[in-house]
Each structure stands twice: as C-alpha cells, then as structure tokens.
Chains A and B, each alone.
Chain A
Amino acid sequence: MNLEQTDFYTQAILSMAALVGLTSFLMLGQGRLLRLIFVFAVQGFLLTLTTVLAAYSLNNPHLYISALLTLVLKVIFIPWMLRREVLLMNTHRDVQALANKTVVMLGGASLMVFSYYVLHPIVQTTSPVMLNALAVSLSVVLLGMLLMISHRQAVAHVVGFMSIENGLFFAAIVATKGMPMVVELGVAFDVLVAAVLFGIFFLHIRTSIDSLDVDLLNKLNEVDK
C-alpha cells in the first residue's frame, strides 16, 4: 500500500483509526476516573469528526445526523453524567492502582494483533485500508472489554461499555458508510436508554452497598462460601 497515492479521505480515515485506537490504549492504562472519562470524551469527539468527514467526503447527508447524535450522547451527555457521579461519590482523588498494568497493556497489544488476524480474510475483497479500519474497530471493542475486566469501578465499566459502542460505530461508518438510517436511530436510542439506566443503577448500587466498587457485588455465586 502506498500511502501517498491514496486520496485525502482514505488517509484521514487511517489517521482517525490510529487515534481512536490510541485513545483506547490510553483508557486502558488510566487509573484516575476523571481522566478516564476525559479520554472517553476525546474518543467520542474523534468519532464525531470521522462521521462528519465521511458525511462530507461521501456526500451522505444522513451521516450528519448520526454525527450530531454521537456528539450529544458520547461527548456531552454520558461524560457529564459520569463526571457528576464521580464527584458525587468523592472518588475522583482515588488512584486506582491497577494490579498488573504491564500485563494489561501487553494483553491489549496482543488483542490488537488478534483483531488483525481474525479479520485478515477480508483483504481479499477490499483494500488494506479497510482491513486497518475494521481491525482497529474490533480491537477497540476488545479493549473495551479488557478495560471492564481490569478496572473495578462501576464508572469504569460504563466507560468500557460505551467505548465498545464507539468501536462498533467506527466500524459502521468506515466500512459501510453508516448503517441504514432506521438502524442508526435505533442504536442511538438504545445507547441513550442504556445511559439513563446506568444513571439509575449508580443510585441503586450506591444506596445498597454505599460504594461504586463492583467487587463488592459478589453475593450471587455458584461457589459455597
């Protein structure tokens, strides 16, 4: 692949993919909740930019709507809600010591390699650019899962959950120029409802265990204690 011969849009998409992947790694290694939320908002913003870029370059006006939805939901509403929650619980000063940061980061890197491996058959049908974009989206999805596994705070779980959605959205925009409009609206609706439900859940978890540390949610178990 010769980068200089590709058009502006393809080059831009590639750099966006790299940046989105980078933000996922930043989140993975982040111990402070407020900074985690900030990086998440940055990822959402990159996603918005990508969508606008795609809408402009491909001349596809309905993508502007989904860009707007992403901006409102992922850059403004969800980060605001999470930030408020963190400040309310007064956990913003806590530094979450990640038990084995090196292992987690190495795991993240191998997930990325794994994504390339899984999606490699796609090269037959398309340019290597698409492989890059799709593999990065898949790795954002997988890194979101790893984030949920490695962090113990409920807030971090929500960030992981939503960053998985980001990865999916990125794939949809880059690979298929956005999903059909009804589907995109439906997905956005689901994300919105999920965000609201998370807010309600924080309230319930706080009142029931007086903390947002999900390790304390361990009553239901198959193993006898």
Chain B
Amino acid sequence: MIAVYLVLLIPLAGIVFFALGGHRADRGKLNVRFNAICLLATIWLAVNVLNQGTILSDNKAFLIDPFNVYLIVLTAFVGLTTSIFSGPYMAHEKDLGKLTDNRLKLYYSMYQGFMLAMYLVLTTNNMGIMWVAMEGATLATVMLVSLYRTPESIEAAWKYFILCGVGIAQALFGTILLYYAAMQIGDGESSLLWSVLYENASKLNPEILEIAFVFMLVGYGTKIGLVPLHNWLPDAHSEGPTPMSAVLSGLLLNDALYAVVRNKMLVDGASHSHIAGYLMMGFGLLSFLVGALFLHRQKDIKRLFSYSSIEHMGMMTFAFGIGGPMATFAALLHMTVHSLTKSAIFVTVGHASQLAGTQSIDKIRGLIKTQPKVGWGLLIGTLAIAGFPPFGVFTSEFLVLLATMHSYPWLAPLLLLGIGIAFAGLFRHIQPMVYGDKPEGQQPVKANLWPVIIHLGLVLWLGLAIPEFLANWFSQATLLISGSTPL
C-alpha cells in the first residue's frame, strides 16, 4: 500500500519543489528524476498487484486492480520519457526567447501537477474524487496551453478551459445522480466508493444509472475528445508546448476513457439493456470517421496528429462499447500502443518544427536530408500509427475489426473505410515533409531521440509478440470489465 502513497506524494513534492525552488538551470534533469522515481514506485505497485491481486487500501480511499494498474505504469512511463524529451526542448525554446524563466518554473511545477492529477484519477476508489482529479488535470494544463502568451495560445487555452470545464460539469451531475441512486440502497459516505457500488451494482436503479451514464459520457467524453465535443483538442495541442501535446494525447485522453469505462461497468451491472455500450459505439464511430476525414485538410503538423488522436480515441471508445472480451482486450491494447506511439510522434514533431522554425506543414520539408534521425522517426511513427504491420497498432486494430465482424458485421466496412481514409490523410502530408530536398539554411537541432526509439521499439515488440505477463494482465483486466477472458 505504501507504493500508492509514494506514487501520489512524489509528484506532490515535485509541484512544491519546482514552484518554490527558485531559479536553477537543471530543472529539466530534476524533472526527469522525479518521474523516474515515480516510475519505480509504480512498478513496485504493479508487482504487488501481480502477486496479491486487487488491493484496497485500509480506509478504502484507493483501489488498485488489474485494469488501472497497467494504466498507472503506462502513465509513469510516458511521463518519464516525455520529461526526458522536454528538458532540452524547453531549454531550446527559452534560448529562442519564447519563454521567460518564470514561465519555465510554472511549466515544470504544472508538469508534476498534471502527473499528480492523472495518478489520482487512476488510483482513487471514490467516483467523486475521480471527478475532482479530472477537473484538476484541466486546471493544471490550462496555463501550459497558454504558456507562450501569443493571442492564438490564449484563445486555445480559453476554449480548452471553458469547453472542458462546462463539459466536465455534466460528469459531476452524472456523479450526483449516481450517488443519489446509491443512497436508495444504503446510506452513508461510503456509497460513492467504486468498490461498494460495484458490489451492489445489480441493486441500483437501472433507469437512474442510465441517465447518469449519459451525463458521464458527455462530460468525460469532452476530455476524450469525442465528436462533437472535440473542438478544444486540436487547438490546445497545436498551441501548447510540444511535450504538453505528448502527455495530453498519450495520457489525459486515456484516463478520461478510463473514467467512462469504470462507469460503464456499473451501468452494465445494473441494467441489461446495453444502452451504455450503444452510446459509446455511436459516439466512438462518429469520432473515428470525423477524425479521419479532418486529417486531410490540416495545415499545422500538430493539429494533424491531434485529429489522429481523436480518430484513435474514437476507435477505442467504439471497441469498449462493443463490450465482448475480444473487443475489450483490443481496446486495452490499443490504449497502450496508441499512447506510446502518439507520444513518440509528438516528440519527433517537436524536433521537426524546431528544426524548420514553424509548425506549418507546407514549410516543413526535407527532414531526412537535414536530420535523418528525426525524419525517420516521424516516418516510422506515422507508419505505426496508421496501423501498418508489424507494429502493435496493427494488432489492436485488427482485433477490433475481428470483434466488429463477429458482433456487428455491418459496421466493419465503415471501420475499414475510416482506416483507409486516415492512412491517406496522414501520408499525403507526411511524405513531402520527410522526403525531398532540404530548404536552404536548415540546420539540425540538438535532439534526444531515445524516447522515440524506446517507444517505437516497444510498439514493435507488442506487435510481434505480446510478452506473457502483459497478455496475462490484459486478460485479467478484460475479465474484470467484460466478465470473461478472450483466450
């Protein structure tokens, strides 16, 4: 149990340390260290869960089960690799005069704040605290989106703040309804605990829970970036600093989806109408198709990949909506490979735009000739995210497709069409950027590409052969969510 507290206390210490730490040049390295220690703590936690099964803390405030523990490790891992990238990147931005030292201080403090909110969303057992932490994640990142203080970035941050704030208020209404339903069967402060709710799910009033779920889906769905509530996402990704885009895409969206799935488990326990699943399938498919279509008309490289995130989150939501063991397994795998691949892509995108001095797709040219590592990184990352074999995204998309063919065969053509459109949309933009002659005077930048290599290596590994302990883990989580194992 100590591991849980460590996971939460380390980023808390990080917030205070960076906020009060004065001016120092080695903040980037210290940030890496904070995240590294946190990763060790999460691994310790994961080993505990692997040995003992589900852990419920003594005061019932924290619940760690196979579903959230792997997301916790993933969060810590992406947080660490992104912080390795962010150190030199932010130092370079400061050298360019885009940032002052005070804003850098804010950046590092809020980086830790964001990590804390993410860990809290994942570890807490209380549905109310989950909401509070989710809102906390918005509050921590909103100042980071406007970090550059350009009119565009302030507009993006305002939009992010208002849209996510209003959206997530719906989720609080859903939580209140959930609490209301829980109070019908038992009074007291513990009725909002997930473990208690889950145990008594069959006794909860199904109609109230269904209404509550609609609100939850709209609320947390705003954060997942589900169409039509996605407007904030491309803006926030394109105007904020690139490391922020990497963690937003890789972690925040996942965690919001996690919150929705937790609620779906309760609704499924209470009612047998599968309404939650249908809603998720509808919203997911819509986001998937709209995201894929919008890829074609993007002019900004970071907006391009944020639409790709919308597309992939749509697919995961759809897969969780189908709900069978295979679809759930695929969705869990897709969550993992998407966040690894997407954060790797944002790292290379960050370097590419620093090298070209712009984020405009039309002006980024000849990356391979200028700096082969960045160019190849972007190309291979895009291949992976587009779902090429042998990368892990292929495996998970293939499984989603299989599950769809099995349960809803008439939806499979739509999925295939979407994958095709997305593929074309990504490559028409990527090809001229990586190939071709380099513009005059374009110089390589100092770049640390280890995060990219490690992430893409892992995605490749997951595509070729999922290691046994991980497969076992996914199966356990699938068992928890869908009630049976895929194998």
- List chain A positions with a Cβ less than 8 A from chain B: 118-119, 121-122, 124-126, 134, 137-138, 141, 144-145, 148, 154, 157, 161, 164-165, 167-168, 171-172, 175-176, 179-183, 186-187, 189-190, 193-194, 197-198, 200-201, 204-205, 208-209, 214, 217-220, 222
Residue among A124, A179, A197 facing the most chain B CB atoms (10 A cut-off)? A179
B176 within 8 A of A: yes
- What is the bound-complex CA distance between A164 and B162, given in angstroms? 12
Question: Quick check: B154 and A118 within 8 Å, CB to CB?
Answer: no
Question: Quick check: A194 and B139 within 8 Å, CB to CB?
Answer: yes
- List chain B positions with a Cβ less than 8 A from chain A: 126, 128-129, 131-133, 135-136, 139, 142-143, 146, 149-152, 154-159, 161-162, 165-166, 169-170, 172-173, 176-177, 179-181, 183-184, 189, 192, 205, 207-208, 211, 235, 238-239, 294, 297
**Chain A residues with CB below 8 A from B154, complex form:** 201, 204-205, 208, 217
Question: Quick check: B143 and A180 within 8 Å, CB to CB?
Answer: no
- What is the bound-complex CA distance between A176 and B127, given in angstroms? 15
- What is the bound-complex CA distance between A123 and B132, given in angstroms? 29
**Chain A residues with CB below 8 A from B135, complex form:** 190, 194
Within the complex, the shortest CB–CB distance from A157 to chain B, in Å, comes to 6
- What is the bound-complex CA distance between A189 and B136, given in angstroms? 9
Contact among A122, A161, A187 for B165, CB-based, below 8 A? A161
**Chain B residues with CB below 8 A from A154, complex form:** 158
Contact among B146, B169, B294 for A165, CB-based, below 8 A? B169
Beyond A190-B135, A201-B157, 14 extra complex contacts between A and B, CB < 8 Å: A118-B211, A121-B211, A134-B177, A164-B166, A165-B169, A180-B126, A183-B126, A187-B172, A200-B143, A204-B149, A205-B158, A217-B158, A220-B159, A220-B235
Question: Quick check: B152 and A219 within 8 Å, CB to CB?
Answer: yes
Question: Quick check: B132 and A148 within 8 Å, CB to CB?
Answer: no
- What is the bound-complex CA distance between A171 and B174, given in angstroms? 11
- What is the bound-complex CA distance between A186 and B168, given in angstroms? 14
A-B contact pairs, 16 of them (CB 8 A): A154-B158, A165-B169, A167-B173, A168-B169, A168-B173, A182-B126, A186-B128, A201-B146, A201-B161, A217-B158, A219-B155, A220-B156, A220-B235, A220-B238, A222-B294, A222-B297
Question: Quick check: B176 and A176 within 8 Å, CB to CB?
Answer: yes
- What is the bound-complex CA distance between A66 and B166, given in angstroms? 22
Question: Quick check: B166 and A180 within 8 Å, CB to CB?
Answer: no
Contact among B132, B149, B184 for A190, CB-based, below 8 A? B132
Within the complex, the shortest CB–CB distance from A57 to chain B, in Å, comes to 16
